[in-house]
Amino acid sequence: MVTCRGPARARRGRELADVEVLHDAAVLVDGDRVTWVGPRHEARDVHSAFRIPQSAIDVVEVAGVLFPGFVDCHTHAVFGAPRLDDQERRALGEDYKTIAALGGGILQSVRDVRARREEDLLALTRARVATLLAHGSTTIEVKSGYGLDPATELKQLRVIRDAGASGPATLIPTFLGAHEVPPEFRDRRADYVRLVCDHMIPTVARERLAVACDVFCEPGVFDVAQTRTILEAARRHGLAVKLHADELEGSGGAELGAALGATSVDHLAAISEAGIRALAASDTVAVLLPATLAFLGKHTHAPARRLVEAGAAVALATDFNPGSSPTMSLPLVMVLGVSQLGLRHAEVVTAVTVNAAAALGLAGDRGQIARGFRADLVSCGVSDWREVAYWMGANLVTAVWTGGSACRPSPGPVCLGFHVQA
């Protein structure tokens, strides 16, 4: 069992490599909480100490390795069709601008999501959440951001609420109305920033449809000043703040996130030295997304080692989305964390558990197998725990429990993305 037990906060520096590994271990769960963790031979004494009758105990034997449920702290799981043409055009050497000009890019997904019925988006999202869960993600952050108008952003956020309502995975909703400037505001970008601040954020907060607000802070999308304006408005309405920062070009997004007390800044492939120092001195979690760079065919990556060594809290996530990262597998991202980012096996485990929970403000509740923590557990069919970040592309997850209950395996093949309009 890999417990990741320790302080209920993000881990930094050497702490990242300090996951507790117990052999022949047992975990006692009561309701949705972990009540005890220790050597299996002590479990019987614990039962009597707690005065629990044998008949009241369900014993589940797990072969392999048990981990805390993985936390995917950055996804864009509510979308319609996959963007296969973008992928092929990129393979043939077209750049981002040309692809967008040919009708691809984020705005293609925006047209699609605007036109699609809410119940169809819900069915697609449920199937994707089942797939994320089958790969071990028990808590999943999901962003809006393919609506870019009040009605469609709210439609996406209701889909997130409804897809998470009956469990078994926990979905954490983030408002990303500032993912791109919609075409109808192309020549009056400041008006769109005002719409986001004065109308969309207050509505989302009032209807309690999101717990956080994110902005794509990137030259040519939302600059640092606009990002600050939007996130300060979000703050005033009680939302936590997050940034897509320093993804393609460095622009000071990491520094802004640290200054605003963001729960996380995400991407960071182009972060500056000053940005690294700012994060190391802050509580903001650095969320790295190596699957995105790999899928886009880039050969650069975020400076993960330098971030860890500087003392920043590093997490990993899928960035699951139709344009730049169509993967639902955190274990695949863990493999990339080791082989592309130069992280150690233990560091990538911390990065998808304790630190990913911290990136959502949940470090006190999940991400560890420890007394008082939520009983979200994942078992993998491996004999050495490090294999979870080794068998590239295989799904090693054998069982998943959320809030102490076993999740049923996802039903047969599911459709993850329809091309045809309903």
Binding status of residue 109 toward ligand NIG by CB under 6 A: yes
Binding positions for ligand NIG, 21-60, rule CB under 6 A: none
Stretch that binds ligand NIG, among 14-22, 187-195, 321-329, 338-346 (CB under 6 A): 321-329
Question: What distances in angstroms separate CA 366 from CA 16, 195, 200, 259, one per listed residue?
Answer: 16, 35, 30, 26
Q: Which does 216 bind (CB under 5 to 8 A by kind): Fe ion, ligand NIG, none?
A: ligand NIG
Q: How far is the CB of 137 from ligand NIG (least distance, A)?
A: 17
Asked if 323 interacts with ligand NIG (CB under 6 A), we say: yes
Of residues 67 and 216, the one with the C-beta less far from ligand NIG: 216
The pair of structure tokens assigned to 129 is 């959440």
Chain residue at closest Cβ approach to ligand NIG: 323
Please state, in angstroms and rounded to a whole number, the distance separating the CA atoms of residues 204 and 153: 9
Of 195-203, 314-322, 360-368, 378-386, the window that binds ligand NIG (rule: CB under 6 A) is 314-322
Kind and range of the H or E run holding 227 = helix 224-236
Instruction: Determine the Cα–Cα distance for residues 73 and 133; give it in Å rounded to an integer.
Output: 13
Alpha-carbon 361 to chain mean position: 12
CA 184 from chain center: how many Å? 30
Which residues lie below 8 Å from residue 384, measured CB to CB, with a gap of 6+?
65
Q: Tell me which of 246, 319, 347, 376 binds ligand NIG, using CB under 6 A.
A: 319
Is residue 320 within the footprint of ligand NIG (CB under 6 A)? no
Binders of Fe ion among residues 278 to 297 (CB under 5 A) are none
Stretch that binds ligand NIG, among 231-239, 310-318, 320-328, 407-415 (CB under 6 A): 320-328
Considering only residues 265-294, where is the footprint of ligand NIG by CB under 6 A? 292
Give yes or no for residue 72 binding Fe ion (CB under 5 A).
Answer: no
- Partner whose footprint covers residue 292, from ligand NIG, Fe ion, none (CB < 5 to 8 Å by kind): ligand NIG
Among 138, 139, 156, 321, binds ligand NIG (CB under 6 A): 321
| Total residues in contact with ligand NIG, by rule CB under 6 A | 12
Structure token digits, residue 324: 């730049």
Residue 22 to residue 41: CA distance in whole angstroms: 12
Q: Which two tokens stand for residue 385?
A: 């725990």
Residue of 34, 77, 106, 172 interacting with ligand NIG (CB under 6 A):
106
Contact between 217 and ligand NIG by CB under 6 A: the answer reads no
* Total Cβ atoms within 10 A of residue 297: 10
Give which of ligand NIG, Fe ion, none residue 247 binds (C-beta under 5 to 8 Å, depending on kind).
ligand NIG
Q: Does residue 182 touch ligand NIG according to CB under 6 A?
A: no
240-245 and 264-267: which strand pairing?
A: parallel
Instruction: Determine the longest span between alpha carbons in the chain, in angstroms.
Output: 71
Residue 401 interacts with which of ligand NIG, Fe ion, none, CB < 5 to 8 Å by class = none
134 close to 187: Cβ distance less than 8 angstroms: no
Binding flags for Fe ion, 309-338, as an x/- string (CB under 5 A): ----------x-------------------
Closer Cβ to Fe ion, 244 or 345, answer by number: 244
Provide DSSP, 240-300: EEEEEESSSS--SHHHHHHHHT-SEEEE-TT--HHHHHHHHTSS-EEEE-HHHHHHTT---
Name the one residue in this structure whose structure tokens are 């560890």. Answer: 368
Under the rule (CB under 6 A), what is the footprint of ligand NIG? 76, 106, 109, 216, 244, 247, 292, 319, 321-324
Under the rule (CB under 5 A), what is the footprint of Fe ion? 319
